[in-house]
Structure 1
Amino acid sequence: MESVIDKAFAAALYSDGDDGLDTGASLLAAAPDADAELRRRGEEYLGRAWRRGWQPADVVRLVRRDLDEPHVRLAADLIRTETGGYAHLPPRWAAQLAELGPAEAPARDRGQDRFTRATTHLQLYRLLLRLPALEPVGPPPGDALPAPAEGEPRTLTRIRALLAKAEATGYPEEAEVLTAKAQELMARHSLDEALLAARTHAKDAPGACRIGVDAPYETAKAMLLDAVAAANHCRAVWNEAFGFSTVVGFEADLESVELLHTSLLVQGTAAMTTAEAGQRAAGRKRTKTFRQAFLMAYAHRIGGRLAEAGEHAVTEAERETRDAAALLPVLAAREVAVTGRAEEMFPETTTTRVRGVTDGEGWAHGTAAADRARVAPRDRGPALP
């Protein structure tokens, strides 16, 4: 016999248009004994999403973009419960789950009537049901994983501290010095990891991670991430439709990209706000075009300057290491491996054309801010799958 849940889902989830939502929500509102099964079905849809390559941050990002805050709270609550049943979670999932915050959805939504709550569930489930398969960037939850190394490498701890200071300071010159030092440490850390893997014949292979690229001005933000990835021996491919870029590279380099991109975005946004305030004080009102031009210029300038820091680190490493003759072949081999992995994951990519930069002052201020943050021109936009 067909259950209430099945009837509601048939009306709301498996038919075109929104006409069936009211029918499905009415059925669920009149059947309080179906609440537990309704929740279980949501967790089942999440499990299906994980098997199709999605991760918690990807789901929450899409729900936040396409639906409303009650749907975000419901999704976060379901994710907490569903992921709590696995013996093993992939490495980056702990941080993603921590960003969900404490469980509070039921208390916040108690004021909703049953029909509204049922509608919220059905709208969220319809989105989850229609998620396409993504290229996996790690194992699904539940798979046994190698034992992680104990603690974070000391170098990464120093890098985090430098970038935190760069974000906190109100002096651009100090932020420049701190960011440059962080990139230098990142480059040296990458070289050390590459040489160690070569000496020990470690079976090290490129991996991948996803980094959110949120509106507004997402093209500029994707360009910034592309520049940071390239400077740290990685490849970034932007999925505009779902609001993230997939970064392909070796693990040490992926960690560097995540840290530096986040920091530079914070620094760039702060510099943009300061520059914009000056524009307004001078009587100019061009907020949207100014911000867009600023961030485009900021992203456009970053790649070469970060690359310079990386080249300097290679030169210093060649001077200091006993394995200088082996360094460049090792780096070349890793570059080939990263390119091969990226092409395997995304055999077809396109290059997006940057449009709409019309504010000369915004461009000039963005370029100056990028110079202060140790960032140089790139002549292409981010890759798209």
Structure 2
Amino acid sequence: MLSLACRTALPAGRLAVSARRQLQTAAALVSRRPTRCSFVCSRRALSTSPVYQNAAGSSSPGAPRVRPAEPWKRHLSPDPSTPTVFTFFENATSTWQYIVVDPHTSDAVVIDPVLDYDVNAGAISTKTADGLLSFIHHEGLHVRRILETHAHADHLTAAQYFKQHLGQDVPVCIGQRISQVQETFAPIYGLDDPALFEKTFDCYLKDDEQFELGRLSCRVMHLPGHTPDHVGYMIGKAVFTGDSIFNPDVGSARADFPGGNAEALYASMQRLLSLPADYRLFVGHDYPQDRDQTCWSTVEDQRERNKHLKVSTDAQTFIQWRKQRDAVLGAPRLLHPSLQVNIRAGKLPPKDEKGRVFFKVPITSEVDL
């Protein structure tokens, strides 16, 4: 079997990538419903006045300006230890993005922001990110950290773009086992120079590590299984789970990425189900069938209704089912572009001598042509 690296290019600033391949290609190269609780959810109309200029603009008249993104919902809590949560759904990748705010100080964190990528055109754009940045400015928020739950394989992170606009002193944070993910995928994509991983992530988080958000306390939860670096963030009674659990009618995420593990995923999900019943689990994605998208469910609802793993589900049953299911899943549409960007905290691959940027796609061929 012949392993190749195929790459195509457009001028700098526009990226091209060949057709998607199966997830096994990359691996082979290296081996709802809302429930009632104490929260209040409300839709909130924003001013329509544009207030934020993106990177293409300037301070001169006529520069492009962006209106604030309107959150899908604003989640309030009477509990002073629990933050206000603004939720934004990115439709192209079914990704939930979160702006989490201490209402006492307006200090905020941004969780899993999305960078737009048109795979057919090979073009990266910042419409989604600019809307969130405009919202942050409009609300007068002070972003203290950009938090990644893991190195995503289905969308590109906008972490570096946010850092450019919010200030270099705003750290991009991720679980400390991102190093394992980087070691796995760097050689696949020709990112062998250790210098390429310098000054990428600023903060490597450990399980049970705590940090402050204004007057609120944030706790890191290592939730491996989907990926080895996966973490969640508990802030009061709100837990941002990434892909470690999905809404009850969606169930669970795949565990077959290199470094993924169905046994570990089971343990991580059970850890979440062991939290108090009224805690809210804010998920990383939603894939609704016969309902509107929703971003959360309570622990109690997950215990009773999760289609893949209820509190009573034994480990062997879940692990066997998860492995069988993963064996027939295809690769995520944006697998290769996502990993090349996300293992470097949102930085694009380095330019070549002509100033062009490429995404590489590893190919496994049955013939030598």
TM > 0.5:
no
TM-score if structure 2 supplies the norm length?
A: 0.23
Instruction: Please identify which structure carries the higher helix content.
Output: 1
TM-score if structure 1 supplies the norm length?
A: 0.22
Determine which structure has greater relative contact order: mean sequence separation of CA pairs < 8 Å that are 6+ residues apart, divided by chain length: 2
- Please identify the structure whose Cα radius of gyration is greater: 1
Instruction: Please identify which structure carries the higher strand content.
Output: 2
